[in-house]
Amino acid sequence: MVIKLKNLLISILIPLVVGGLSSFIVRGSFSLFSQVNKPPLSPPSILFPIVWTILYILMGIASYIVYENSKNKKNNGLTFYAIQLIFNFVWPILFFNYNLYLVSFIWLFILWILILITTIKFYNVNKIAGYLMIPYLVWVFFAGYLNLGIYLLN
């Protein structure tokens, strides 16, 4: 496969921009978040932007691989990918800006299901693309634990 650099960069930029825009919207709420009770295993705050940047890059690469390798454009998972990106964008706003911890947890559960579907569809197009989505799937599962813990403790 010949790498089409422009398409690869666009594919990586899309989730980075979605995540960056969402972070920009919630930036003022992070100081309030430091005051909530957090469950055990809560990582330090500095870890979140690092992990999310890596995950956005991985999912961007996965979407590029799927886009470039899809013979069946209707069943390649890119629609689910776009929907899960929208859910990903909204979750921090619900959680940080509105402190809707239970709603956020339900939203995150739906996001996790969308990521799972996307991962399976990506895997069916290209195994590497599916594997690249697994860290994201695991991280959102862990985020669900943190989200539920914060709901229960606050």
What's the domain range around 108? 56-61+73-154
100 occurs within a structural domain: yes
Q: Which of 68, 88, 91, 52 is nearest to 11 (CA)?
A: 68
- Chain-centroid distance, C-alpha 112: 9
Give the whole-angstrom CA distance, residue 34 versus residue 64: 36
1 occurs within a structural domain: no
Which pLDDT score is estimated for 97?
94
Which pLDDT score is estimated for 150?
97
Which pLDDT score is estimated for 5?
95
Give the torsion through C-alpha atoms of 80, 82, 88, 94, to 10 deg: -100
106 occurs within a structural domain: yes
Q: With cut-offs at 50, 70 and 90, classify the pLDDT of residue 32.
A: confident
110 occurs within a structural domain: yes
For CA atoms 20, 22, 28, 31, the dihedral sign is: negative
Residue type at 141 in one-letter notation: F
92 occurs within a structural domain: yes
Q: With cut-offs at 50, 70 and 90, classify the pLDDT of residue 130.
A: very high
Query: For the residues 99-123, what does the mean pLDDT come to?
Result: 98
The structure tokens listed for 40 are: 């055990």
The structure tokens listed for 70 are: 């899809």
127 occurs within a structural domain: yes
Q: What is the pLDDT of residues 63-85, one digit of tens each?
A: 999 999 987 777 789 999 999 99
Q: Which of 93, 95, 143, 96 is nearest to 115 (CA)?
A: 143
Q: With cut-offs at 50, 70 and 90, classify the pLDDT of residue 92.
A: very high
Which pLDDT score is estimated for 31?
75
- Is the pLDDT score of 20 beyond 90? yes
Which pLDDT score is estimated for 133?
98
How many C-beta neighbours within 10 Å does residue 41 have? 9
The structure tokens listed for 11 are: 């594919």
Q: Around 143, how many Cα atoms within 13 Å sit in the side-chain half-sphere?
A: 25
27 occurs within a structural domain: no
Residue type at 31 in one-letter notation: S
Domain count, the chain: 1
pTM metric for this prediction: 0.95
50 occurs within a structural domain: no
Comparing 138 with 32, the larger pLDDT belongs to 138
Give the whole-angstrom CA distance, residue 88 versus residue 85: 5
- Is the pLDDT score of 30 beyond 80? no
